[in-house]
């Protein structure tokens, strides 16, 4: 990676967290592909689709790829077709992907996750509705017996013993992530999945040590962070993805809560907060527009010392550059835009007058 001109340095300036240096600030957000086998020995195992999908974004110049939500247990999948990291067969398939990403100069990251009450659904292009045992489904577990939406099953309210088991599954997934070759682990605490369900009073109606007060509702998240950090090498960075607001008028998680939690996460070894929003409750009003979630990342950055990445309708190179140059975030995470254009980073470098590493096989085109 060559240094970019001073006028457009931010987006293509390397960024170091602990011992890992990411070659630029164009990062890929975790986006599920729903393309693994749903059952049998190949359940949750990465396929040729996954390899081709991530390889394309790496050759396209993306600095860091955060692999889609990868379940810490079979019951933690959003759908039966999700990737998993609960066994060694899954690790072997993932190792091929991380090796290729590293060979292209891309840092491989993985988002480890548990879907909670939003688990056991069909693939989005099949409608995304809950599925039962006849379609490889199961009964979801959650902080409380409160369904996600009308037509969704009432989840099983997790016992304290079950909560501790899941925490252990996050720790085991972390060990496997290291064995698979990842250099960044991101804990999924956003979008209304299990950790986010514990955080929000809208979904967490518990009356024990895991519900009620802010301290109690954040307990599970912090215990997971501590368990993951204990397994993840000291020289490798740990991310946490948060929904900074539920977009609910009352009884929801708020931006104030996010700022308070950020400090607690940092004190337990989190190196960067990946700031998204929403996903906990259906039917909420979200003011969609270019960069609509960036202000939430900017607030965390302004009010804490925890680095942040911004996401949400970031589509244009100059838009991304401005976010970084204005100090609103330390990196940008692109989602759907990288589905549309795997070579977005290369196009951005050309538009901004920066240089970017190019595979020898593609040099004739640049």
88 alpha-carbon distance from chain centroid: 22
- The phi, psi pair for 16, rounded to 5°, reads -110, 130
112: part of which helix (H) or strand (E)?
strand 107-113
pLDDT < 50 stretches in the chain:
1-7
- Residue 1 counted as domain residue: no
Evaluate whether residue 185 is within a structural domain: yes
Domain of residue 181, residue span: 6-365
Q: How far is residue 36 from each of residues 197, 292, 303, measured CA to CA in Å?
A: 25, 32, 41
**195 within domain boundaries:** yes
Q: The domain spanning residue 285 has which CATH number?
A: 3.20.20.70
Helical residues (DSSP H) of 60-148, grouped into ranges = 88-103
Nearest residue to 234 (alpha-carbon basis) of 186, 271, 272, 273: 271
What phi and psi, each to the nearest 5 degrees, are found at residue 201? -65, -15
Residue 207 inside a domain? The answer is: yes
Written as one string, the DSSP assignment of 291-344 is TTTHHHHHHHHHHSSS-EEEESS---HHHHHHHHHTTS-SEEEESHHHHH-TTH
Specify the residue for token string 């607690």: 264
Which residues contact residue 2 at a Cβ distance below 8 angstroms, ignoring those fewer than 6 apart? Answer: 354, 355, 356
Closest listed residue to residue 208, CA positions, set 196, 190, 220, 223: 220
What does the pLDDT look like over 124-163, one tens digit per residue? 999 999 999 999 999 999 999 999 999 999 999 999 999 9
Q: Cα 222 from chain centroid?
A: 17
Task: Write down the residue that tokens 């050759």 correspond to.
Answer: 59
Residues with catalytic roles: 193
Counting the structural domains of the chain, the total is 1
| pLDDT score, position 144 | 98
In a domain? residue 338: yes
Provide CB contacts within 8 A for 331, sequence distance 6+. Answer: 15, 22, 25, 26, 27, 63, 64, 272, 309, 310, 324
């Amino acid at each position: 990676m060559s240094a970019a001109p001073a006028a457009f340095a931010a987006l293509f300036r390397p960024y170091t967290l602990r011992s890992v240096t990411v070659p630029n600030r164009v990062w890929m957000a975790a986006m599920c592909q729903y393309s693994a086998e749903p059952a049998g020995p190949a359940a949750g195992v990465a396929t040729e689709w996954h390899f081709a999908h991530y390889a394309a974004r790496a050759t396209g110049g993306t600095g860091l790829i955060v692999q889609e939500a990868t379940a810490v247990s079979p019951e933690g999948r959003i759908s039966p077709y999700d990737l998993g990291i609960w066994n060694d067969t899954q690790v072997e398939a993932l190792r091929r992907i991380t090796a290729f990403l590293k060979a292209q100069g891309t840092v491989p990251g993985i988002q480890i996750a548990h879907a909670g009450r939003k688990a056991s659904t069909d693939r989005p292009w099949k409608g995304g509705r809950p599925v039962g045992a006849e379609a490889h489904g199961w009964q979801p577990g959650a902080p409380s017996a409160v369904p996600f939406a009308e037509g969704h099953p009432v989840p099983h309210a997790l016992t304290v013993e079950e909560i501790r088991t899941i925490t252990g599954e996050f720790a085991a997934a972390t060990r496997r992530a290291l064995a698979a070759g990842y250099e960044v682990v991101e804990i999924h605490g956003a979008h209304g999945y299990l950790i986010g369900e514990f955080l929000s009073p809208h979904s967490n109606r518990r009356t024990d040590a895991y519900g009620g007060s802010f301290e109690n509702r954040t307990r599970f998240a912090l215990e997971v962070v501590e368990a993951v950090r204990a397994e993840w090498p000291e020289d490798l960075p740990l991310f946490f993805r948060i929904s900074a607001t539920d977009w609910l008028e009352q009884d929801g998680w708020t931006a104030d809560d996010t700022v308070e939690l950020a400090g607690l996460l940092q004190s337990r070894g989190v190196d960067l907060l990946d700031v998204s929003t929403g996903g906990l409750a259906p039917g909420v009003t979200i003011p969609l527009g270019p960069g609509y979630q960036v202000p939430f990342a900017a607030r965390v950055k302004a009010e804490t010392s925890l680095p942040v990445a911004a996401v949400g309708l970031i589509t244009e190179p100059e838009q991304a550059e401005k976010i970084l140059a204005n100090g609103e975030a330390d990196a940008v995470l692109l989602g759907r835009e990288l589905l549309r254009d795997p070579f977005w980073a290369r196009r951005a470098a050309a538009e901004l007058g920066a240089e970017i590493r190019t595979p020898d096989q593609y040099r004739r085109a640049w």
